[in-house]
Structure 1
Amino acid sequence: MAPDSTPVLPQYPELILAALEAIGSKKGANKSKISRKIQLTYGTLPAAHATLLSHHLNRMKATGQLNFVQNNYVIPDPDAPPKRGRGRPAKPKKPVPEGAVKSPPRPRGRPANPGSKPKAATPTVSGEKRGRGRPPKPGKKVAAPVLLPSGERRGRGRPPKVNTPVSAAPVGA
């Protein structure tokens, strides 16, 4: 077998850190400057160089190996304090003594009004099922259902129009 003529490249994180150190700018360098520096140093690069570089830059940024400031990648200062996340920091927790019983967590949502009574599905006083709508006021007479001359109950809502035949007189006579 013939040995490969392609040079062996170091791992991409090493390439990126070496390129940033070679550039030596305090403000760092953007992706195109890093890529150009790697290409000038090592010559021939793999076909997927741009994809590999983007992937490793994003991974190094996520793990904290690089900082991303004003569209430039910068090697973080080891003496600088770590950046704090957004929002208010959490309160320090008191140590719990061993053998202590932990109370259950608070329920989610808005607490119930202390003055309200819990609603129970109890039947009405008379034992009948309640109808829809607002119940009538006590002591007020309830109207009897309207009966038609034929003895039927009238339905709810407006009655339909009744089409009555008109006399056979011509219109406009």
Structure 2
Amino acid sequence: MATEEVNKPLSLPPYPEMILKAIEALNEKNGSNKSSISKFIESTYGDLPAGHNSLLSHHLNKMKESGELVFWKNNYTKPDPNAPPRRGRGRPPKPKVSLPPDAVLGPTRPRGRPPKDPNAPPKPPKVKVSSGGGKPRGRPRKMAKPTGGLSSSATVTDTMPGRPRGRPPKVKDSLSAEVSVEQ
């Protein structure tokens, strides 16, 4: 802020005043954009400081945040005193409830989960209660492989219907074994 006052000539009025005069003089229906405000200020007050564009942006933003100007559709206008206030995005904040003056507030609770009491007895485990209807949740349990059976030398093909899992073992022909011996 101190550098702004040092750099600008003494003949210039403050930037907020120049901005408001420019908006009034331009008198556009939807307001004036930054470039038209800048051109008006340059034509009216010839000798401007070197950082005019950055100073103008700074003061426009400052005036917009303070409520002196309304920024809508990339244009700056003076706020209408009869217009309802514009609501921002999102849910509006809850209204603050004022307490009576004689009300005493208790100590505020700290944030987060309270620490466990080391002297407290352990809680009993929770008992799972089934809803009683239909199939149980999750993947069904694997069935146990049958043991024993008709004979003690039961193979995998006897216990499972269809083919066994995996690649079948390689079968050696008796003829190929004899031919390889003769050669």
TM-score (norm 1): 0.55
The aligned counterpart of 2:72 is 69
Structure 1 Cα separation of the partners of residues 29 and 73 of structure 2 = 12
The one of 74, 79, 84 equivalent to 2:82 is 79
- The 5 A counterparts of 1:1-173 are 8-85=11-88, 86-98=90-102, 100-109=103-112, 118=116, 120=118
CA-CA distance at 1:94 after TM superposition: 4.1
SS in 2 for 1:43: coil
CA-CA distance at 1:111 after TM superposition: 7.2
Unmatched runs of 5 consecutive residues or more in structure 1: 1-5, 113-117, 123-173
Q: 1:9 to 1:94 in 2, by over 3 A?
A: closer
Indicate the structure with greater helix content: 2
Q: 1:111 to 1:80 in 2, by over 3 A?
A: farther
| Structure 1 stretch displaced more, 8-17 or 70-79 | 70-79
TM-score (norm 2): 0.52
How many residues align? The count is 111
CA-CA distance at 1:121 after TM superposition: 7.4
CA-CA distance at 1:119 after TM superposition: 5.7
Residue deviations 1:71-96 (CA, integer Å, cap 9, x gap)? 11111112223334542332341432
Structure 1 Cα separation of the partners of residues 72 and 25 of structure 2 = 19
CA-CA distance at 1:60 after TM superposition: 0.5
SS in 1 for 2:76: strand
Residue deviations 1:37-56 (CA, integer Å, cap 9, x gap)? 11111222222211211111
SS in 1 for 2:61: helix
Q: 1:77 to 1:25 in 2, by over 3 A?
A: same
SS in 2 for 1:32: helix
Unmatched runs of 5 consecutive residues or more in structure 2: 1-8, 121-183
Q: 1:80 to 1:93 in 2, by over 3 A?
A: same
- Tell me how large the CA RMSD over aligned residues is: 2.6
**What amino acid sits opposite 2:100 in the alignment?**
V
Structure 1 Cα separation of the partners of residues 54 and 98 of structure 2 = 48
Structure 2 Cα separation of the partners of residues 24 and 88 of structure 1 = 33
